[in-house]
Structure 1
Amino acid sequence: MEVREYLRILRRNWIIIVALCMVGLLGAGTASVLSKPVYTAETKLFVATQTSGTAQDLNLGNTFIQARVASYVQTATTPTVLQPVIDTLGLNLSAEQLAAKVKASSDLKTVLLSISVDDGSPVQAAAIAQAVANSLIAAVDVLEKPRDGGVSPVRVSVVTPATAPAIPSAPNVKTNLALGLVVGLALGIGVALLRTTLDNRVRSESDIHRLTDAPVLGGIAFDQDATKSPLITQISVQSPRAESFRQLRTNLQFAHVSHTSRTLLFTSSLPGEGKSTTATNLAISMAQAGQSVALIDADLRRPMVSEYLGLEGNAGLTTALVGDADVEDLLQPWGEHGLHVLTSGMIPPNPSELLGSEAMKKLIARLEQMFDAVVIDAPPLLPVTDAAVLAQHVGGVVMVVGCHKARQPEVTKSLGTLELVNADVLGIVLNRVPVKGPDAYAYSYYSYDSVPAASSSRAKKSSQPSRHSVFKASAGSPHEFEQVLHGQRMAEPNHFPVKKP
């Protein structure tokens, strides 16, 4: 993954990361408060020889002492030194328990020896440190004394007496908080990466690009009131959701520019991804742009178009397919523009057979002669085969993918189903795309430069190559683009000839 992908992951999971950082800080703070304070007292000893002589003798004696200091470090924590301390101070500890509190060390190439003691009481820590130093001095004097009597060649003396510390050495609150923050941050990043790896939902345009070469035709902005007001005629003209459908309408004109068929089929992987509302609103948007549009509700299992538009749904597509009425008599005008709707009609027991029949093929061909564009709302691909059967009769298929709902394996399987029936997939429409945040759809950056070679080759065969340059030049200003496109339509033959019903 690129750096921007990692940044998107962090932005997407920032709440988890911040929460775990706070947990780390809280845990470190709690541990610091609950921990008993520990005080450390230290004393330093100086080791020297008892003899005096020439410079050579002193040099040899210094080398001898440096070698002995390492042995004295080990001796400081032995029962020989610690047991007298226990007896003198009356400690209720064993030599092994006291040894856990005592630390002896020496600086390299010096004759200094340090003894430190950790204890819950600062006074007792200083008393033990001083007693250990005195006991070590006595032990060294005994151990180094010659067998035949005489004075020990080694002299150990205290140079820094132990004093009671004023502040505890542990817990170190600042260090603990910093450590808790680092641990929490590491856990947060780890959880974010693991969550992203295990999460196979489609969340952004980049997820689609990893799954397929089909272009992303547009993104429908998320609107929390869409369930109450599903149609773009029920919301503000300047709202992000309404603008999304206008941009989708514009992009589809170029994706469909080289096709002789005027029919667009909308489907999805599973129910609930917004294919019906997308097809309905696109048909409304195309009608508002001056085209005559026929909207067909071909979802014969769960029809929704009549409910959205408030039309009669008992007589419609199935009525025409079985020959009970002519399709022109079943088309219902809607709105002030040139939109006519063919509702589903009665739900039949054999939807797949009806949609794949010759009658359905002829009905689509007839409507193409009557209207500038035909928009079909088809059932989802994975539960039933209706959409795959119907895709063979239309000029192009648009697949609607619900962000944060559809899973990547489902999208891949659906596209594979369309490929098996040789359907012409014009592209993907992302539905419910956040308008802010890491997964927001960047409309102004979309251009047909990202369209795969197969789609580019179809565009090159078109006799209107200049439209691509118009699209790219005006990607940042949709209204200016509509004006330019309208002027170009006046100058060029429309690829959807206007034929009113």
Structure 2
Amino acid sequence: MPTQPLTTNSKRPIIADVNPKSPISEAYRTLRTNIDFSNIDEELKTIMLTSAGPAEGKSTTATNLAVVYAQNDRRVLIVDADLRKPTMHHTFNKSNRWGLTNVLTGKTLLSDVISETHVPNLHVLPSGPIPPNPSEILASKRMTAVLGELRGMYDLVIVDTPPALAVADAQIMATKCDGVILVIYAGSTKRDAIVKVKANMDHVKANVIGAVLNNVDRKSGEGYYYYYYGSREE
């Protein structure tokens, strides 16, 4: 059974769910629209989010983006591919005893670890137990096969990954996803770090479709802004 909606008292409230009419929720819907128009000639079925460093809002952005897509009558799955510091099981009040790592190691089936959330049309795949070799597991052929299977099950798969400069995981997943979004924390993320992340993504020929600049000071005191990089040069 789906869990009860998270309230504003939750440690991890989902603003697009608890306050869908807020300016921030509207910004997430604008982000959704921009993504839909970013690759007109190529359908984006798997979108990965990462950031340069920790605590820049990538998981929050991934969650709210998944919610606004689900609210638009899309069948959406959010995958916690941060196998070092997973958070999605906390956000959606799920157990992390079983999840992606169990599937990748052949201990269970996808259908056994994907669960409904309280948001209609939105499902979640937790990370599962933290493995000793996250990069190797994500780089496996099994991970590629799992994403291929999920493409056939959902309209959109949103993948949350670790910070891109900390470990190689994000670069590995970027080669397996249709599009990459970088999350940047205004006033905190250094320009050099952003440039390095973009260069790393270009090195593996990732399709960086844009970036989200969050924590922007506006009249409302907070907000999110999206800008478009454009498709990668071939």
TM-score (norm 1): 0.43
| 2:106 corresponds to | 323
CA change 1:260–1:336 in 2 (3 A) is closer
Q: 1:403 aligns with which of 186, 209, 214?
A: 186
Larger radius of gyration: 1
Match of 1:76 in 2: none
Distance 2:10 2:196 in 1: 28
> Helix, strand or coil for the counterpart of 1:267?
strand
Distance 1:457 1:356 in 2: 24
Compute the displacement of 1:440 (Å): 7.8
Q: Distance in 2 between matches of 1:357 and 1:275?
A: 24
Match of 1:359 among 116, 125, 142: 142
User: Which of residues 416, 426, 429 is equivalent to 2:199?
Assistant: 416
Retained in 1: the 8 A contact 2:182–2:212?
Answer: yes
> Are the counterparts in 2 of residues 293 and 372 from structure 1 also a CA contact under 8 Å?
yes
| Alpha-carbon separation, structure 1, partners of 2:86 and 2:63 | 12
Aligned mates of 1:227, 1:382 — CA distance in 2: 30
Distance 2:32 2:42 in 1: 16
Contact between 2:47 and 2:158, CA under 8 Å: does it hold in 1? yes
SS of the residue aligned with 2:116? strand
Q: CA deviation at 1:433?
A: 1.6
Moved over 6 A (4+): 439-443
For 1:228 and 1:405, locate their aligned partners in 2 and report how far apart those are by CA, in whole Å. 23
**Partner residue, 2:219:** 436
SS of equivalent residue, structure 1 residue 433: coil
Deviations 1:331-379 (A, max 9, x none): 0111241111000000000000011110000000100001000000011
**TM-score, normalized by length of structure 2?**
0.89
C-alpha contact 2:84 2:130 (8 A) present in aligned 1: yes
Q: Aligned ranges for residues 57-206 of structure 1 at < 5 Å?
A: none
Correspondence for 2:4: none
For residue 377 of structure 1, what is the amino acid of its counterpart?
A: D
Matched, 1:337 2:104: no
Q: Which residue of 1 aligns with 2:5?
A: none
Counterparts of 1:378 and 1:395 in 2: how far apart (Å)?
14
Q: Which residue of 2 aligns with 1:265?
A: 48
**68, 89, 93: which one aligns with 1:306:** 89
Partners of 2:17 and 2:119 in 1: CA distance = 14
Q: Provide closer, same or farther for how the CA distance between residues 340 and 256 of structure 1 changes in structure 2, counting only shifts above 3 A.
A: farther
| Alpha-carbon separation, structure 2, partners of 1:357 and 1:396 | 19
Q: Take 1:277 and 1:451, find their aligned partners in 2: how far apart are those partners?
A: 20
* Secondary structure, counterpart of 2:167 in structure 1: coil
CA drift of 1:231 comes to 0.5
Shift of residue 251, structure 1, vs aligned partner: 1.1
Alpha-carbon distance, 1:436 to partner: 2.2
Q: How does 1:360-399 map to 2 (within 5 A)?
A: 360-399=143-182
Q: Is the 8 A contact 2:50 2:162 kept in 1?
A: yes
- The reply on whether 1:248 has 2:4 as its aligned counterpart is no
| Shift of residue 432, structure 1, vs aligned partner | 1.5
Sort the Cα spacing of 1:358 and 1:307 in 2 relative to 1 into closer, same or farther, 3 A: same
Q: Kindly state the Cα deviation for residue 451 of structure 1 after the two structures are TM-superposed.
A: 5.3
How many angstroms apart in 2 are the aligned matches of 1:227 and 1:412?
35
- Structure 2: which 5+ runs fail to align? 1-7
One-letter amino acid matched to 1:230:
P
Aligned to 1:289: 72
SS at match of 1:393: coil
Distance, in Å, in 1 between the alignment partners of 2:56 and 2:198 is 15
Cα separation, 2, equivalents of 1:451 and 1:323:
38
Cα RMSD (Å) of the superposition?
2.6
Asked if structure 2 preserves the Cα contact closer than 8 Å seen for 1:396 and 1:423, the reply is yes
Report the counterpart of residue 209 of structure 2 in structure 1: 426
Q: Which amino acid aligns with 2:58?
A: K
| Per-residue Cα deviation, 1:18-73 (whole angstroms, up to 9, x for no partner) | xxxxxxxxxxxxxxxxxxxxxxxxxxxxxxxxxxxxxxxxxxxxxxxxxxxxxxxx
- Is the Cα–Cα contact under 8 Å of residues 299 and 379 in structure 1 kept in the other structure? yes
> Match of 2:212, SS?
strand
Count of residues paired in the alignment? 227
Asked if the contact 1:235/1:242 (under 8 Å) is kept, the reply is no
Deviates more, 1:390-399 or 1:250-259: 250-259
Q: 1:312: how far off?
A: 1.2
Rounded to whole Å, the distance in 1 between the matches of 2:29 and 2:12 is 17
| Mapped contact 2:212–2:224 kept (Cα < 8 A) | no
Separation (CA, whole Å) in 2 of partners of 1:334 and 1:289: 16
Report 1:23-38 matches (<5 A): none
Partner SS state of residue 175, structure 2: helix
The correspondence of residues 434-473 of structure 1 with structure 2, limited to 5 A, is 434-436=217-219, 455=231
Unaligned runs of 5+ in 1: 1-224, 459-501
Q: Structure 2 vs 1, CA of residues 274 and 227 (structure 1 numbering), >3 Å: closer, same or farther? A: farther
- Once the two structures are TM-superposed, the CA of residue 241 in structure 1 deviates from its matched residue by 1.4
Quote the Cα distance in structure 2 between the aligned partners of 1:272 and 1:252. 23
Q: CA deviation at 1:228?
A: 4.4
Whole-angstrom CA distance in 2 between matches of 1:243 and 1:260: 23
